[in-house]
Amino acid sequence: MVAPRLVLILGDQCSPDIAALQEADRTRDIVVMAEVAEEASYVPHHVKKIAFLFSVMRHFAEDLRADGWTVEYTKLDAPENTGSIDGELLRYATKHGATEVLATEPGEFRLIERLEDMPLDVLTFEDRRFIAGHEDFETWAEGRKQLRMEYFYRDMRRKTGLLMDGDQPEGGKWNYDHDNRKPAPDGLTYDGPMRFTPDQITQEVLQFVETRFQGSFGALRPFWFATTRAQAQQHLTRWLAEALPSFGDYQDAMLSGERFLYHSITSLYIHVGLLDPLEVCQAAENAYKSGQAPLNAVEGFIRQIIGWREYMRGIYFHEGPNYTSRNILQHDRKLPSFFWDAMTDMACIRDTVEATRDEAYAHHIQRLMITGNFALLAGIDPAEVHEWYLAVYADAYEWVEAPNVIGMSQFADGGIVGSKPYISSGNYLNKMSNYCKGCAYSVKDKTGPNACPFNTLYWHFLDRHRDRFEMNPRLAQMYRTWDRMAEDRRATVLSDATLFLDRLDEGQKV
């Protein structure tokens, strides 16, 4: 009899189209899925993220069994659980006399290296759920001085044929970003994503996570995420009809208490394998073709998926394992405790951290221009910022989180992802949100104890990094504005910022 091979399926690989399954033989091979302490604790994950992963995994294991596969599934509390992916592979290899493992490349160098070091023959296949394979990205990147997303995105449009009119972009423009920046008017509401009642499998996971991860960050309940492909598809269908038409206009808007606005939460479902990125984009394109959604919304949405999502993955693998430790600006401040407990007088940060705590979700502009902006202006150590983002969001896996945090948000990679740091004073936040109305600080005050901290920190950042950014064409105007200010005013701005940072370092409530 031929020995079976083990087929490794990780928590974020729950798709019937995953490469390792496609290469395997269901009459011979054994699928291995394992809830393990090492994956559940390499950062202090949000409890909703853990419950989501475990529930998706358990449902997927059931689907595979129903589809004729033999599945060895280890629950986290199984007494024989070795606590790691490689440990579980070794245990099942011994049990079944297997020496070979079929795997799909994990989305993190840590695990890739772990599989490479195993005393078994591990055959790793590239993850084919992405539109750009490693070779595609490397070919695109070769010889380019700058790896700008926009040009990569155009190639992806050509490759997929999405929103293409022959070899030209639909509507005559590649990018409708300028039409995606409307502030949301007060009173705008959206029911939010489709919510699902936990079934028996999810209930069991919730009870388990509640006990085992007691004291961990985040609210476990109410738990309403889709945990099967059918549910994720239902969610997508409803989102396309109800929210996509407004997604374009209000993509960058923020409203207190409106945690999702018109965002899709598809990242959550695509990353784990419940939805396929191309299928999602084609459905959005169909909404445009049938007149149900305008071009700026559909282009904006498709750009996020075949543009930003694919580009970020390309950058992660292109830059290599040391990417997460980059710190070009040499920032070394500790992450303030309000990133965990929301105990701050800054209404925008409080609202974003509370949403993060309750939903394991915040939308892009909250991640970039509220928490990310603050961390960058305040000079927080990017490694600590990276670890926080990787822990708190249910869609956080290193391949997508690190380029967003280290690159886009913290400029710690020196400008590979972004041509300039994403920073703003309170003015931008006031324009794009209604947070400032309910804030203890005054966005109109530029100095003094009541001034919005973003106002003083903004200039403090530019001043302390003058050597690096003064010649940046996109920041030169700001340096001219700064230089035109009266000297004593500049001194006050800087001393107020320093005072604020000192209070932060002392652990005072700010």
Does the protein bind ligand FAD through residue 270 (CB under 6 A)? Answer: yes
User: Rounded to an integer, what is the distance from CA 163 to the centroid of its chain?
Assistant: 25
Sign of CA dihedral 345, 348, 349, 355: positive
**Burial category of 128 from C-beta neighbours within 10 Å (exposed 0-12, middle 13-18, buried 19 and up):** middle
Q: Kindly state the helix (H) or strand (E) to which residue 33 belongs, with its residue range.
A: strand 30-34
Which residue number, 10 or 416, has a Cβ lying nearer to ligand DLZ?
10
The token duo for 160 is: 């997929």
Which one of the spans 8-16, 286-294, 324-332, 365-373 is the region binding ligand DLZ (CB under 6 A)? Answer: 8-16
Give least dist CB 356 to ligand DLZ, A: 17
Alpha-carbon dihedral of residues 133, 402, 264, 307, nearest 10 degrees?
A: -40
334: number of Cβ within 10 Å: 11
Residue nearest to ligand DLZ (CB): 11
The token duo for 126 is: 């590239």
Residue nearest to ligand FAD (CB): 304
Give least dist CB 427 to ligand FAD, A: 20
Tell which one of 19, 31, 32, 36 touches ligand DLZ (CB under 6 A): 36
Of residues 40 through 69, those in contact with ligand FAD by CB under 6 A are none
Which option in ligand FAD, ligand DLZ, none does residue 108 bind, with CB closer than 5 to 8 A by kind?
ligand DLZ
Does the protein bind ligand FAD through residue 266 (CB under 6 A)? Answer: yes
Tell which one of 15, 160, 256, 304 touches ligand FAD (CB under 6 A): 304
User: Rounded to an integer, what is the distance from CA 2 to the centroid of its chain?
Assistant: 42
DSSP 8-state class, residue 307: I
Which one of the spans 56-64, 134-142, 308-316, 318-326 is the region binding ligand FAD (CB under 6 A)? Answer: 308-316
Which option in ligand FAD, ligand DLZ, none does residue 45 bind, with CB closer than 5 to 8 A by kind?
ligand DLZ
Query: How many positions of this chain bind ligand DLZ (CB under 6 A)?
Result: 16
Of residues 363 through 382, those in contact with ligand FAD by CB under 6 A are 363-364, 367-368, 372
Does the protein bind ligand FAD through residue 129 (CB under 6 A)? Answer: no
Pick the closest to residue 193 from 250, 228, 232 (CA basis): 232
Of residues 76 through 115, those in contact with ligand DLZ by CB under 6 A are 106-108, 111
Q: Draw the binding track, 379-408, toward ligand FAD (x: CB under 6 A; -: no contact).
A: ----------x---x-xx---xx--xx--x
Does the protein bind ligand DLZ through residue 53 (CB under 6 A)? Answer: yes
Please give the Cα distance from 365 to 262 (Å, whole number).
12
Q: How far is CA 179 from CA 183, 237, 251, in A?
A: 11, 24, 9
Does the protein bind ligand DLZ through residue 270 (CB under 6 A)? Answer: no
Pick the closest to residue 239 from 290, 199, 292 (CA basis): 292
Tell which one of 264, 356, 434, 455 touches ligand FAD (CB under 6 A): 264
Beta strands in 37-86 (DSSP E): 70-74
Which option in ligand DLZ, ligand FAD, none does residue 220 bind, with CB closer than 5 to 8 A by kind?
none
Q: In the block, which residue shows the tokens 């069994």? A: 65
Which option in ligand FAD, ligand DLZ, none does residue 53 bind, with CB closer than 5 to 8 A by kind?
ligand DLZ
Please give the Cα distance from 375 to 353 (Å, whole number).
13
Tell which one of 14, 18, 30, 39 touches ligand DLZ (CB under 6 A): 39
Query: 387, 43 in Cβ contact below 8 A?
Result: yes
Q: Draw the binding track, 309-348, toward ligand FAD (x: CB under 6 A; -: no contact).
A: x--x------------------------------------
Query: How many positions of this chain bind ligand FAD (CB under 6 A)?
Result: 27
Of residues 391 through 410, those in contact with ligand DLZ by CB under 6 A are 397
Does the protein bind ligand FAD through residue 352 (CB under 6 A)? Answer: no
Q: How far is CA 28 from CA 21, 24, 25, 96, 481, in A?
A: 12, 8, 5, 11, 70
Q: Which residues contact 449 (CB under 8 A, 6 or more apart)?
A: none
Please give the Cα distance from 354 to 339 (Å, whole number).
9
483: number of Cβ within 10 Å: 10
159: number of Cβ within 10 Å: 14
386: number of Cβ within 10 Å: 25
Residues at the interface with ligand FAD (CB under 6 A): 263-267, 270, 301, 304-305, 308-309, 312, 363-364, 367-368, 372, 389, 393, 395-396, 400-401, 404-405, 408-409
Residues at the interface with ligand DLZ (CB under 6 A): 10-12, 34-36, 39-40, 45, 50, 53, 106-108, 111, 397
